[in-house]
């Protein structure tokens, strides 16, 4: 059950980061990345194990990569502009930071 909860929280964090990264460009990106770090850190803090942080980070990555690929109608949620590239680059860095922060 904890794995499902961690995956669900990671997916919701990824969806919120995907949708927020263009809102008032630098502020939405910063808010999405900070929420990602805090949310994934809080999952590990709640159950005192790093493996739940890894599950949440993997779910975050799946959602963000899916948002960066072309959909059936050719739509993109994360474009290849500065904001989208920063979300993917800094998001991956924030995932590593959140996973390796002490519990």
pTM: 0.94
d(CA 10, CA 19): 14
| pLDDT for position 103 | 80
User: Residue 40 sits in which domain range?
Assistant: 2-100
Distance of CA 91 to the CA centre of its chain: 6
| pLDDT for position 48 | 92
Mean pLDDT by 10 residues, the chain (103 residues): 97 96 92 97 95 97 95 89 95 96 88
d(CA 35, CA 47): 19
Q: What total of structural domains would you count in the chain?
A: 1
């Amino acid at each position: 059950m904890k794995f499902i909860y961690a995956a669900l929280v990671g997916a919701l964090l990824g969806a919120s980061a995907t949708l927020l990264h263009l809102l008032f460009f630098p502020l939405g990106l910063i808010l999405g990345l900070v929420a990602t770090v805090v949310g994934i850190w809080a999952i590990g803090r709640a159950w005192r194990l790093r493996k739940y942080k890894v599950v949440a980070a993997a779910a975050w990555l799946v959602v963000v990569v899916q948002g960066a690929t072309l959909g059936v109608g050719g739509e993109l949620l994360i474009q290849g502009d500065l904001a989208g590239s920063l979300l993917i680059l800094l998001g991956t860095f924030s995932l590593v930071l959140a996973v390796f922060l002490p519990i």
